[in-house]
A and B are shown apart, each in its own frame.
Chain A
């Protein structure tokens, strides 16, 4: 399939880019591994609104705001490929994908003149003892089940960790009549965030919304522990209780389920696999691609928009997508520079306001060091290969291992099917702390395509060029 612009991700960023780019005359293909468009925030919004409208009330107005965006997307001329997992993007503009339909893997290539990566965010892992037990999931998983299938946790459960999404999920579950038994907050620093407050003032509605969520949670009168210093989930074949400490006092809650969350970071493996330049963002505590204001990266072919380029939130992601779609049209000669300036002006302003508001939130919920570099040596950090925090610390100290890629030659940390998505940032923080260096100095795993499992048969079916040709500029 030939196209002008291939967009990977049908969240607010990818959808807005598709709308603005098609309006500016480009041929656009949007690929997404989910069955329906909307991304993480607007997941399943159209079906949900049609089949169980009562749930819209619980999920809230920010969720319902996805409906007009999706209507515009359906009206635009973009081609949409659902259930298409993209496993490689080449600097020659080839986008390799696999349709994820049970027993019917079908592979294909989109040949594009420009590629926009809009793969969104993922939750930062919160590795604590017992987090691999069945019954422990991420807060995002609970929210996904609520949106996608109308499923709510059954039994007694707690939410633990930090970040706005944890509070949003708590409020959504309270409204749905399934309040958590307790909320255990691990990181919160109002005084540290205060100097960034002026940046928030451009979006007064956000501040009020946040306070509104807290009020709703307080009104539900459930135990809300702030300043948790230790967390441990216990059980044999599944989670049975959670032990935690606040102000030197220990508590135990019996649980059937635990939902963990520690903010969101870019879902970066696809962007990383293209070798575009990345840098460490110390406020968001993650690596992010180096981009210009229109999402252009260090490669002429590849652009990035939305949370994949650094967390900006749903509205910011949509604004950034709109600008990136127009920039692609301008770079391909479909509109001229003056036309770009006038069409992109409003979205750029909106993006600036949302970017300015981020540091307050980033700082308010910035994870404390103990939660990103576990001190308990037995805590599993690589779920796939069952590597523990102590293994990494010991290797670094004993062998003077300088970074995550060298670590891979000693142990299989980061080499399982998830390709380091769930351990990468933890490994970097552990190595940095043990060596007394910064994560920026340590660097990240070298990520290589395919970033999703593909079979040799898939490769053969496509006549894929060697890794080197396809990935490097």
Chain B
């Protein structure tokens, strides 16, 4: 849904993370939610109430729409977590810990 602008980080190195099981490069210092918006397709979670598809909304820590699974840990606020080399980022489906 989002793309790097040209000359985006010519001087800053990229970090490799694993989004939905696929290794991808993202700019250093970006959030896990931003990595999802670049490489994760549409939705990043389904709601525990009705199973609706959702995606990050505010990108500043308010709405909790970016709850995702990071390095196996559910319920992480993806827009506030900065990527690290090798980080595994996955959507969160339904209630955390309950696999549909």
- Contact partner of A102 among B5, B61, B67, B70, CB < 8 A? B70
- Contact partner of A238 among B5, B37, B43, B58, CB < 8 A? B43
- Interface positions of A from 124 to 141, Cβ below 8 Å from B: 132-138, 140-141
- Interface positions of A from 239 to 267, Cβ below 8 Å from B: 256-257, 267
Interface residues of A (CB under 8 A from B): 33-35, 40, 44, 47, 50-52, 54-55, 83, 85, 100-103, 122-123, 132-138, 140-141, 144-146, 148-155, 176-178, 237-238, 256-257, 267, 383-386, 416-418, 421-422, 453
Contact call A100/B53, Cβ cutoff below 8 A: no
Check if B99 is an interface residue, CB within 8 A of chain A.
Answer: no
- Contact partner of B9 among A40, A51, A136, A176, CB < 8 A? A51
Q: A55-B8, A141-B59 are in contact. List 16 more A-B contacts (CB 8 A).
A: A40-B60, A51-B10, A54-B7, A55-B5, A102-B76, A103-B71, A103-B73, A134-B55, A137-B56, A150-B8, A151-B37, A152-B4, A153-B1, A237-B53, A256-B1, A385-B49
Check if B90 is an interface residue, CB within 8 A of chain A.
Answer: no
- Interface positions of B from 9 to 38, Cβ below 8 Å from A: 9-12, 26-27, 29-32, 34, 37-38
Contact partners of B1 in chain A: CB under 8 A: 134-135, 153-155, 256-257
Closest to B82 in A: A35
Contact call A422/B63, Cβ cutoff below 8 A: yes
- Contact partner of B5 among A135, A176, A256, A267, CB < 8 A? A176
The total number of A-B Cβ pairs within 8 Å is 158
- Contact partner of B81 among A100, A132, A155, CB < 8 A? A100
Contact call B62/A386, Cβ cutoff below 8 A: no
Contact call B11/A51, Cβ cutoff below 8 A: yes
Is the contact region of chain B dominated by helix, strand, or loop, or is it mixed?
Answer: loop
Interface residues of B (CB under 8 A from A): 1-5, 7-12, 26-27, 29-32, 34, 37-38, 42-44, 47, 49-50, 52-65, 67, 70-71, 73, 75-77, 80-82, 84, 87
Question: Which among A102, A152, A422 has the highest number of chain B CB atoms within 10 Å?
Answer: A102
- Contact partner of A383 among B42, B53, B57, CB < 8 A? B57
Given A51-B11, A151-B2, A418-B63, A141-B56 contact (CB < 8 Å): yes
Contact call A150/B4, Cβ cutoff below 8 A: yes
Given A103-B71, A151-B37, A154-B3, A136-B8 contact (CB < 8 Å): no
Contact partners of B47 in chain A: CB under 8 A: 386
Closest to B10 in A: A52
Contact call A102/B12, Cβ cutoff below 8 A: no
Contact partners of A237 in chain B: CB under 8 A: 42-43, 53
Closest to B31 in A: A148
Contact partners of A54 in chain B: CB under 8 A: 7
Which are the 8 A-B pairs with shortest beta-carbon distances? A150-B8, A134-B55, A141-B59, A149-B30, A417-B64, A154-B3, A151-B2, A51-B12
Given A237-B53, A383-B63, A151-B58 contact (CB < 8 Å): no
